[in-house]
Structure 1
Amino acid sequence: ADDVAQPTSPLPPSPVIPSLPPHQLPRPSPPQAAEGSSLLVHQVLDKCSALVLKVVAASTPISAAKPAVVAVGTPISAAKPAA
């Protein structure tokens, strides 16, 4: 008798959002479109080149970098507890 599942409250109805027509930009004439596309491609290639240079610089092996921590003379396990 204690195993009876309690009824759950129904979820509130989700709001209906009317679909809006897609925003249409005026289309440039074909020569302008080709020029704009060429400029966009050039900008994308420039960004990709810059990112590649950053990745190459960031992927320097740690062993090649100067270590930031100097080896400590006494290992932690051999350290004497404070009195």
Structure 2
Amino acid sequence: MMTRIMDLDVLPSMDAVQGAGPELMAATDPAARNGAFYGPKSRTGMTGEAAEVPVYRSAKGPTLAASVWALAAATTGVDLPRV
């Protein structure tokens, strides 16, 4: 049954190039704004071209932000100065 549903191509999905679009836009577009969030531009936020999109309410907390920065520093070995 699941194979038949997936064959219909009705589940939201993007290929690797489309999926990398928001990150590339945020990193390289001269018009990208510091502190903005970039993702797929669709009503569901799961597909579509890269664009600036609203930050999810659940992602705005200082506790989550601190944990993301800590994970990034641990993963990359680079800890940016605190402002």
Bucket of the pairwise TM-score, normalised by the shorter protein: under 0.3
| Higher share in strand | 2
Q: TM-score, normalised by structure 1?
A: 0.26
Between the two structures, name the one with larger relative contact order (CA 8 Å, sep ≥ 6). 2
